[in-house]
Structure 1
Amino acid sequence: EAPCNSAAMRIVGDCPHCESHFCGQHRLPEQHACINLESCKAAAFEKNREKLEGERTVSSKLVSV
């Protein structure tokens, strides 16, 4: 693949996972083949799991009389 010649975007073009700078087309980790993509996915999965665990409703047990 040919290298991208587009200018890097300020702030939104900074990848927090690999600390590199990218244009608007390549700013997402999936689009620039981020070297930390797997750890990024694992962290997002864990964050989502914790959120869903906190929102889970548990039906109370019914006591027979």
Structure 2
Amino acid sequence: MPGMVALRYNPILKTFGERLLASGHAPKAVIGATMRKLVHMIYGIVRTGVPFRADFCSQKLDFQDGI
């Protein structure tokens, strides 16, 4: 469920999910990749103590390859 909600409301993960769907991934694979990316984002926030900023890596998102 968190992955599905993140795909709908988080602008970074929404763009990520749309890109994976456009490249031909299965919908459940997109949800799984989103969950993994969400866990990495949460871990980074907890580890650094810096609040979440939606515009932090949106410029770099276009250049990412793979999952």
When normalised by structure 1's length, the TM-score is: 0.40
When normalised by structure 2's length, the TM-score is: 0.38
- For the pair shown, which has the larger CA radius of gyration, 1 or 2? 1
Compare the two structures and name the one with the higher helix fraction: 2
